[in-house]
Chains A and B, each alone.
Chain A
Amino acid sequence: QKEVEQNSGPLSVPEGAIASLNCTYSDRGSQSFFWYRQYSGKSPELIMSIYSNGDKEDGRFTAQLNKASQYVSLLIRDSQPSDSATYLCAVYNNNDMRFGAGTRLTVKP
């Protein structure tokens, strides 16, 4: 069974703080890793993708991947109330995209 596990949360951080979201996966053959943001009642939207070990930065978002530890994370710097949403970790291997259950993030003004 290919599993994608995330901290269920909810995670609450004050405005301006760093939010840290974590994800582990069981399929060692996984090739690509994604973070989707899903606002309540809306569909998921892609915010970050990462394919190789290390860090990838895009604005206030940094994705980190460690394939040896089967671990991927998302850091959100200078968190804003508009970042309040559920963040889904997705793992791709051989035409199979698996999602975690998501972590609900609340950024308090």
Chain B
Amino acid sequence: EAGVAQSPRYKIIEKRQSVAFWCNPISGHATLYWYQQILGQGPKLLIQFQNNGVVDDSQLPKDRFSAERLKGVDSTLKIQPAKLEDSAVYLCASYRSMGSTEAFFGQGTRLTVV
């Protein structure tokens, strides 16, 4: 089966600019997570979707971050405006369903804010 697709792979922006990341999960996977991984740290959950609904966004900095999964398939994560501390790898992971515990990760998008 095809894996989780993410784009772009790399992005460099100036602080206060906007950026968007895209994720296409494995076909049929209902659950989708966005993680932020800062260099030297483990992945930190930002938001969890079940189909097109948000299950948990308690750790998403909502003043600048937003995410959507309108049709329950692809998802986009947006940062507006970006700060220097947003520099990280943004990982998308999909799970077969709620309660599934094996995460299938995409390659990630490495964001550098200068």
Contacts and interface: CB of A to CB of B under 8 A. Distances in A.
Interface of A: 4, 6, 32, 34, 36, 42-46, 49, 88, 90, 92, 95-102
**Is chain B's binding surface mostly helix, strand, loop or mixed?**
loop
Interface string B6-32: 000000000000000000000000000
A32 B108 contact: no
A100 B42 CA distance: 5
Contacts of B35: 99
Contacts, number: 49
Contact residues of A: prevailing secondary structure: strand
A95 B55 contact: yes
B103 A97 contact: yes
Nearest to A34: B101
B39 to A, nearest CB: 11
B51 interface: no
A43 B42 contact: no
B102 A43 contact: no
Contact of A92 (B56, B101, B105): B101
